[in-house]
Copies of this chain bind each other. A is one copy, B any other.
Amino acid sequence: METKNISSAVIKRLPRYYRYLSELLDEDVERISSNELSRKMHVTASQIRQDLNNFGGFGQQGYGYNVKYLYKEIGKILGLDVVHPMIILGAGNLGQALANYREFEKRGFKLVGIFDINPVLEGITVRGIEIKMIKDLGQFIKENSVEIAILTIPKNKAKEMADILVENGIKAIWNFAHVDLETPENVIVENVHLSESLMTLSYNISKYEQEHKDNE
């Protein structure tokens, strides 16, 4: 399938389409019209038609979209048709929370290791996986073809850990540490900066209140 010409704006919306299609599949829905999907997703039907037109010749009038086919094709674009071996660095609450997200594994994100720097945690198991020490990290990445590292360690250690990950050939870092990482171009970084999300929330509270006060 040709994926090159899909715009980045469409790409950004794909995970949300994927989620809705997954829910439709769970409800055994075989096909859906752009109007129905529009009502569910609160996106205009024309936006949906435009976006999904990128995925070839279906969505005919009177039929709608084949849910299973579309789900599969979008999954391929998102790289969910292959297994991505994954490790967690940082076995604290957040690391453990992520280790227990069963949904990730369903999508091909297979947790194969958990690492920490605290020797007290060595050997303790989380979801059947023994916590290992950082000294074993390099060898483990190579032996297990680890692609993704989830970074849930404090920010003062994050850059150092990122360097070790890069040296050992990691493909991507899912970064929860509250710091911007500098990695070479071939190492993908996706940040989840929770504080920044919470600040956006409080900005929106202030903004709503100010607008509301002005209208009084």
Contact = CB atoms under 8 A, between A and B. Distances in A.
Interface of A: 3, 11-12, 14-16, 18-19, 41-42, 77-80, 84, 92-94, 96-98, 100-101, 103-104, 107-109, 147-148, 171-172, 174, 178, 180, 186, 188, 190, 192-206, 208, 210, 212
Contacts of A199: 14-15, 18, 78-80, 107
Contacts of A18: 199
A94 B152 CA distance: 12
Given A18-B199, A188-B208, 15 more contacts: A15-B193, A16-B196, A41-B180, A77-B206, A79-B203, A93-B93, A93-B94, A107-B198, A108-B202, A171-B208, A172-B205, A174-B197, A174-B198, A190-B198, A192-B192
A3 to B, nearest CB: 7
Contact of A79 (B42, B107, B205, B212): B205
